[in-house]
Amino acid sequence: MGKNLDKTYDPSKVEGKLYSKWMDKKYFHAEVDKTKDPFSIVIPPPNITGQLHMGHALDNTMQDILIRFKRMQGYSTLWQPGTDHASIATEVKIVKKMAEEGITKEDIGRDKFLEKAWQWKEEYGGVIVDQLKKLGSSCDWDRERFTLDDGLSKAVEEVFIKYYNKGYIYKGSKLVNWCPVCQTTISEAEVEHEEKSGHFWHIKYPIVGTEDFVEIATTRPETMLGDTAVAVHPDDERYQDLIGKKVILPLVNKEIPIVADKYVDMEFGTGVVKITPAHDPNDFEVGLRHNLAQINVMNDDGSINENGGKYQGLDRYEARKQMVKDLDEQGLLVKVKDHTHSVGMHDRCKSVIEPMIKQQWFVKMEELAKPAIRALKSGELKFVPERYGKIYLHWLENIRDWCISRQLWWGHRIPAYYCEDCGEIIVSKEAPTKCTKCSGTNIHQDEDTLDTWFSSALWPFSTLGWPENTDELKYFFPTNVLVTGYDIIFFWVVRMVFSSMEFMGQVPFDTVLIHGLVRDSQGRKMSKSLGNGIDPLKVIEQYGSDALRLTLMTGNAPGNDMRYYDEKVEASRNFANKIWNASRFILMNLENIEEREVAIDELTPADRWILSKANTLVKDVTENMEKYELGIAVAKLYDFIWEEFCDWYIEMVKPRLYNDDDDTKAAALWTLKKVLITSLKLLHPYMPFITEEIFTFIQDKEESIMVSDWPEYKEEYNFQTEETEIELIKQAVRSIRNVRAQMNVPPSKKAKVFVVSEKEEIRNTFEKGKVFFQTLAYANEVLIQADKENIADDAVSTVIEGATIFMPFAELVDIEKEIERLKAEEKKLQSELDRVNKKLANEKFISKAPEKVVNEEKAKLEKYSSMMKQVKERLSNLSTK
């Protein structure tokens, strides 16, 4: 062929070059092609504030594997890319940058702020896209979308108005997650629960008309300003006579009722709990059941409001200190106990979330959830692994109305307008010039924006052009599989499903492939606070993208977390080098050789064996990938390429390659090339760069492996007889190697090998496979016979299936030299034994040395004694030879 690969594989020289080639050739671009079946995936849109982390790397590697696989199978494949505007994350970054310049949002106003936001997006928003490209992601970048682009914004407006007109969207006061620092509602997805050290304050609530009191325990004393009841369990015998009575709320000095509710845990604390409906989600539900007042005691910044009496204006934590002091002075503080509990934190600014009653926009979920539940139960939608379907159902069957408004400027502004003259709410795409009720013109738009998840819920169809009925929407929707982590089943998957069922009348994808988290080597979640994060880009820089991708898929099982070890990525790099070196060897032997097609009857048993193995591999890998068993598929590929192809077949055929007179040399070269190309194609989805580089060197009929045909199983390459024969020879070679290793026989020491079997077919197999024993089993001669005739009594033997293998002892070992070596070893071991025994016989050492040190010496004694026993036995055996 006249050319060869570089001596060593350098990913930094290859990956960028090949990715540019793929982009220039438009290999990633998807077209509506009615002659092909479509296959499509939508990318979980990364935040424009994001940097590539290991979770992104795993998620996108899995998607890329599936897309590349289906592309090679002949599908018209679309991997739809895009990014999310990330309302809170982006606004936090821009506000922080403005603060460094000494200005606030309010200083410049909404329009100027949005100008800055768009400038920030243009400057930084493409960073993660460039990083995904370094990973090898074969998205159709020509179709890249952004959740705030005109088309997606139009889709969001359309959905909001349709929901509103149908009665699914309403404005009302409910308990929400409130961030006092960012001063906006946030979703459950943005709440991180952290274990924090705190306290339980035990407080007396006097019972009205008596000298008695009930004792409650709280971790948030400041919220008692908003208590509207205390509760006990209806079956708690201790408090039966108190149900219906009242207590005096300390510090506020007002009477509140004692109610009975099954929410109370009789076994926890005192069995009496304070109920603060405006500041706790469970208390909110209790309050609804008992028609309790909802008293909000906090301002938006977390300070105490006018309902807090003397504590008004204090920060919530300052108020806590003052209230605890006052309770103590009034004799109402019983005790303070240390307590570790889970605290909800805003994942962006790291402040403690405050549950608060707020007037917000909500989506009614009861009716929307029903079709999404049916989709899973009917099999229209499935999860891999199946167990995650239960989590999906749990969320949907216990769903609450969805708070969709955010007190932010960056995002989709709510298309609702208010008439200040009559209070009418007008929901419209265009700003109305007059009120539809009173014809007044004093109208202003709602200041809030929509929850980011509102737009990403439409992602599978809005990215394809909806609400327009585009050709892409008709062809690529519904998409095929969604790949995502188990942590956002509710926040994103559920919302995409019910949105699609509502507006498209069908599921957005038929399969949800769930993956776990990438943890550190100790099994901990990667986080900034622990400082244990691994930067994928640094791994790529050091080892290459292929090595990282293979590492992330090795041992990967759907839904399960995996651990990242440096050793794993080094092993992946070594695998890449193994393939590279094997390919160089094959190319070197193909140089200046006129290649030709080889007929099946020209193939030797070894050729047929490896072809049959590769053929089975094609079937197995294809089936595994179709079932999303990506980790199993790549494990089979790894084992085949490293062991069967490189370590066995290439070694088997070397004598044929080095002998120009061997009339099977052409068959060996043809088989080597064919199996290598098949292996490269199967491996390409996992390791796209190295497979492409080798593929373009090893053949010149196709310009890229990316658009080559996926291998298919062929019955004519099913050679079971040859597989059985070669596997038997491999078993024999392994046995010989094991014997030699146990006896410390160097590879340079050749020995005669006898294969004894009563079965003629086994003897015939070994006759045909004699050639392999020279290079693989270090044999200088192979004799095959039916009995033990002419085999020395001292021959070493090993048994395999249907045969016994013998090797003359004298040919394996130089007895005099071995005795000399063993005597030296005996002397060395005796010296060590004398030293250890002396130490252990020393009473001062035993009494004064740490127990660990003494145990270490005892362990040495046991080890050296065992080694000495083996040496003496070996010497005894040799002296009788």
The pLDDT score that the predictor gives to residue 404 is 96
Give mean pLDDT, residues 637-644: 97
Single-letter residue type at 209: G
Question: Rounded to whole angstroms, how far apart are CA atoms 660 and 647?
Answer: 23
Question: Rounded to whole angstroms, how far apart are CA atoms 836 and 856?
Answer: 10
The pLDDT score that the predictor gives to residue 1 is 45
Give the tens place of pLDDT for each residue, 118-134. 999 999 888 999 999 99
The CATH number of the structural domain formed by 723-813 is 3.30.2320.20
Answer yes or no: are the C-beta atoms of 279 and 297 closer than 8 Å: yes
Each domain of the chain, given as residue ranges in start order, spans 184-355, 554-718, 723-813, 816-879
Give the tens place of pLDDT for each residue, 578-605. 999 999 999 999 987 888 889 999 999 9
Residues across the chain? 881
> Does the pLDDT value for residue 527 go beyond 90?
no
Residue 528 assigned ligand-binding role: yes
User: For residues 73 and 823, which has the higher predicted lDDT (pLDDT)?
Assistant: 73
Domain 184-355 falls under CATH 3.90.740.10: yes
Residue written as token pair 């990014």: 83
User: For residues 500 and 781, which has the higher predicted lDDT (pLDDT)?
Assistant: 500
Fold assignment, 816-879: Helix Hairpins (1.10.287)
Give mean pLDDT, residues 850-861: 90
Of 760, 805, 813, 820, which is closest to residue 786 (Cα–Cα)? Answer: 760
The pLDDT score that the predictor gives to residue 2 is 46
Peptide bond before residue 385 is cis, with ω within 30 degrees of 0: yes
Single-letter residue type at 534: I
Question: Rounded to whole angstroms, how far apart are CA atoms 311 and 251?
Answer: 10
pTM: 0.87
Question: Rounded to whole angstroms, how far apart are CA atoms 796 and 779?
Answer: 14
> Does the pLDDT value for residue 568 go beyond 50?
yes
Percent of the chain with pLDDT over 90: 73
Mean pLDDT score across all residues of the chain:
92
Give mean pLDDT, residues 460-487: 96
Burial class (CB in 10 A: 0-12, 13-18, 19+), 759: exposed
* Band of pLDDT at residue 523, cut at 50, 70 and 90: confident
Helix (H, G, I), strand (E, B) or coil at 178: strand
Give the tens place of pLDDT for each residue, 143-172. 999 999 999 999 999 999 999 999 999 999
Pick among 1.10.3720.10, 1.10.1740.10, 3.30.70.141, 1.10.730.10: CATH of 554-718: 1.10.730.10
Answer yes or no: are the C-beta atoms of 382 and 512 closer than 8 Å: yes
Percent of the chain with pLDDT over 70: 99
Give the tens place of pLDDT for each residue, 94-114. 998 999 999 999 999 999 999
Answer yes or no: are the C-beta atoms of 40 and 656 closer than 8 Å: no
DSSP 8-state assignment for residue 237:
G
| Max mean pLDDT range (335-344, 678-687, 793-802, 867-876) | 678-687
Helix (H, G, I), strand (E, B) or coil at 810: helix
The pLDDT score that the predictor gives to residue 815 is 74
